[in-house]
Structure 1
């Protein structure tokens, strides 16, 4: 049981949680997205159209609510501000539900995943387990919670094993971390485990995972903190997508069925 999480009952329906009048009137739900986090958010290489699990899920939720999605491409740094000030209705771009973000944003959680270490495949034998990363450099996006999580993991595991700490290298994003890894500027990298199968399929025999993900996190649809009507409408729509099998089909399409949530929660992140 997730303490403090708002879990919806199965008796609810989309009709029981109406969209705000302004959204219904314009017929669109605007969403901030940063299409650089495949397979959640990307541009299709063949068409340059927005694609990914988040796009499919957002469009399915909008259809349940009787509106269309209006995708607004932005930067990661601007997303919380955009929803907090009302420039967009929601964030749907692989954002982790963190308690530290709850002062401005509430999250309707739709995915469970976690940060994962990986190395160059050619050096996999040098890293038989996660403790082999102690004293090494690990690149990860400075915009995420991962730098702090690596430092915490290092403090807990490397220090207790009498090994030197991990040197955390902040990067401009996951693609930059992978570039630095391939160039040998860092020994390892970290990104969400939900993204690695897609990346490893695009670049076969390039990377190898090390150990298990270091924590379990929820990914959520970000909504302004006080927009409770919209939060409930989104959550009801998501619950119905889970119930009718559409949610599973979307996750299966993107190879993420193992990261599915079983219950719809709001602000269950820690």
Structure 2
């Protein structure tokens, strides 16, 4: 997937600027977890250190909207999908959730010391699983962004000859070049690839009708469409080059299997009672939902 593994960085500021360029709201209210009932059996399994503190501490870079970013009146209040899910898990366990802002690359090494869990849209990879445990909670990949109603008649099965906006230097641009070669080798018309410095500009070009589509990560695409006042929509890519999917996971220290299992079982209850889907839907991200929370699932990465 093209998320935080190969991380063509789409920061919160970039994403929110894209939304502002489309005349959209840049923030969302936190999901209300006050009605979530404590599960006494699960709460009783929380490791003593966490239970005695009464707080589940999560590490997050808080710079990757809509997953996590800083907002609020002071510009320092964590918001986003990861924050809402962290709050929901903590509430089910009778705890409070605290999201601590950290540099992305420093979170995993500090699990078990500075943080109980890592909630920062981590892609689950075989390499990362060697050093931490993961509980899967989302499946992300790539999405085409087009104008609502598809007035350009964009067909993801046949992109040859289309005008495609893309962030310059991104993995998406590399993959489009591969697809363009296939277009030429097959005797078709090549795409007109329109490179832009930021994904902001690429999305805006589509919104204003200057390109047929742009391709970017699920989070950026789905949230931009959700906040665009129905002027944009998304389409799943077709073909091995572009339709790449992968799991995101909540990270826990490798030695802490007890907490890993509690987090997995707690998230499973939230999936079953609809809370999890309600959180994703509140961010327009229902398409990335998973059916179950698995511990250290297999990964292609």
When normalised by structure 2's length, the TM-score is 0.63
The aligned residue for residue 93 of structure 2 is 65
Alignment of 1:45-60 (within 5 A): 48=75, 49-60=77-88
Q: 1:80 to 1:133 in 2, by over 3 A?
A: farther
Q: SS of the residue aligned with 1:92? A: strand
Classify 1:22/1:223 alpha carbon distance in 2 versus 1 (closer, same or farther; 3 Å): same
Matching of residue 219 in structure 1 with residue 277 in structure 2: no
Contact 2:136/2:248 (8 A) holds in 1: yes
Counterpart in the other structure of 1:238: 267
- Partner residue, 1:106: 133
Q: Which runs of 5+ in 2 are unaligned?
A: 1-40
Separation of aligned partners in 1, 2:218 and 2:99: 25
**Distance in 2 of aligned mates of 1:141 and 1:236:** 40
Over the residues paired in the alignment, what is the CA RMSD in angstroms?
3.9
TM-score (normalised: structure 1)? 0.70
Which structure has more relative contact order (CA 8 Å, sep 6+)? It is 1
Deviation, 1:119, is: 7.4
From 42, 48, 66, the equivalent of 1:14 is: 42
Q: Is the 8 A contact 2:68 2:79 kept in 1?
A: yes
Match of 1:250 in 2: 279
Query: Corresponding residue for 1:9?
Result: none
- TM-superposed deviation, 1:60: 1.0
**Cα shift readout 1:61-104 (whole Å, capped 9, x = no counterpart):** 01122221121111222222332x73212111222222232122
1:24 aligns with 2:46: no
Query: How much has 1:105 moved relative to structure 2?
Result: 2.2
- Distance change in 2, residues 1:135/1:219 (3 Å): same
Q: Of residues 213, 217, 221 in structure 2, which corresponds to 1:196?
A: 221
Q: Report how many residues are paired.
A: 243
Gaps of 5+ in 1: 1-12
